[in-house]
Amino acid sequence: MITLSDRLQRLPGYPLAEVPTIKRRLIAAGMDVIDLGAGDNDAPPPAVAVDAMTAALRQPALSKYGFQQGLLEYRQAASRWVERRFGVQVDPVTETLPLIGSKDGLAHLPFAVINPGDVSIIPEPGYQAYIGGSMLAGAHPYIAPLRPEHGFLLELDQIPEETLRRARLVFVNYPNNPTAAVATVEYLQRTVAICRRYGILLAYDNAYCDLTFDGYRAPSIFEIPGARDVALEFFSLSKSFSMTGWRLGFAIGRPELIGALTRIKSYTDTGPFLAVQKAGAATLDQAEALVIPVREELQRRRDAGVEALRSAGFQLETPKAAMYLWVNLPSGIASAPFATRALEETGALVLPGSAFGPAGEGYFRIALTVGPDRLREAARRLGTTLISISRGELAAAT
């Protein structure tokens, strides 16, 4: 018999792992499933990416190993975009690293800074790669709950001093998945100051920086003075350009930190496909124009979804960014049974807050991955589930 590692068995369940199987079963049974689970937009990737990729496939040199160095053209396009977008300068060779999606960098980063037993500070609810990567690297995860009364901000000054002293890494993600919260510059200054004081590496996950509404602009961590000493920042082409399956992102930061992540990754992968990097370079060079329609459509979906969910009896904030609605459930209704019933009985697929860790309980997440009409239909179905569960609760109580 093969014995699996303790490390593997300690990992929490991955929230999206079972969803495709359940969805397939329901569709096979004739159910009209509205999938608002994964943050995977229904829009196609930009034509510029598809054209560049098609041409790249005909260049044999781009079918070779990319290694960590990858395609200089991609690193240059990434650093040019960072400068245009945030006014931040990074060297394309020493301060930029191509990633196989930003998840690759986020999940591997703990191996570069964690010794067994060191603390990694993990926001909860939050993107699962933070806790998974940290635990695989032997970290002791310290769960920092994101609370509505603090605007879902990870407040380092709420963490005991003793823990901060043992911490080597913190993951900070704004615009946030799943809460859609955004951070002010003042919050980022506070966070950088604490990371500097305790020598904590600040992994700033900016995957949603361009999906912003009502004129809101999401900053880079490197707009904060002093951040260069302690931070690495992670970007993704997945969300802004509907390129989730292409697996392309990049990290930026000072050479020693980028070098450390590069060294770890040189043992686990050989970099993103060079043809994909070629297409990524073409996409980033046109990023500003390409994200406008994506952002506008998401804002239309946000408006339709918020209004329809409120009419269906739910409470939620109107988010300024990201591609999610984080919807409050009435107290006493647990998120997992709610999501299961909504899916099995109505075909509305949402993620229960508890899938993002216990601190996500009391909420469910909707990804704005379908158009306004389908969102309205999903809200109507979720409303019927809410009513039937509430009636059941009431009947049970009387």
Ligand X SMILES: Cc1ncc(COP(=O)(O)O)c(C=O)c1O
Residues of this chain that bind ligand X (CB under 6 A): 39, 101-103, 127, 173, 177, 205, 207, 236, 238, 244, 249
Shortest CA distance to 110 belongs to which of 152, 173, 167, 179? 167
Least CB distance to ligand X at residue 209 (A): 11
Of residues 283 and 385, the one with the C-beta less far from ligand X? 283
In angstroms, the CA 172 to CA 247 distance is: 21
Q: Which two tokens mark 213?
A: 């509404």
Of residues 70 and 249, the one with the C-beta less far from ligand X? 249
Of residues 102 and 385, the one with the C-beta less far from ligand X? 102
Length of the chain in terms of residues written: 398
Of residues 103 and 228, the one with the C-beta less far from ligand X? 103
Of residues 179 and 385, the one with the C-beta less far from ligand X? 179
Least CB distance to ligand X at residue 103 (A): 3
In angstroms, the CA 127 to CA 356 distance is: 7
Of residues 245 and 337, the one with the C-beta less far from ligand X? 245
Least CB distance to ligand X at residue 31 (A): 25
Alpha helices by DSSP H, the chain: 6-10, 19-28, 47-57, 72-86, 102-108, 110-113, 128-136, 161-166, 185-198, 227-230, 255-265, 274-285, 287-311, 335-341, 372-397
Least CB distance to ligand X at residue 390 (A): 31
Of residues 278 and 341, the one with the C-beta less far from ligand X? 278
Backbone angles phi, psi at 34, to 5 degrees: -105, 105
Partners of residue 297 on adjacent β-strands = none
Distance from first CA to last CA of the chain, Å, rounded? 52
Partners of residue 326 on adjacent β-strands = 365
Query: 170: helix, coil or strand?
Result: strand
Least CB distance to ligand X at residue 329 (A): 21
Of residues 248 and 308, the one with the C-beta less far from ligand X? 248
**112: Cα separation from own chain's centroid:** 21
Of residues 101 and 362, the one with the C-beta less far from ligand X? 101
Are the C-beta atoms of residues 250 and 97 closer than 8 Å to each other?
yes
In angstroms, the CA 169 to CA 388 distance is: 44
Least CB distance to ligand X at residue 107 (A): 9
Least CB distance to ligand X at residue 198 (A): 24
Least CB distance to ligand X at residue 237 (A): 7
Shortest CA distance to 59 belongs to which of 280, 209, 266, 276? 276
Q: Which two tokens mark 241?
A: 């350009």
Least CB distance to ligand X at residue 74 (A): 14
Determine the residue with CB nearest ligand X.
101
Are the C-beta atoms of residues 189 and 226 closer than 8 Å to each other?
no
**Beta-strand pair 324-328/119-124:** unpaired
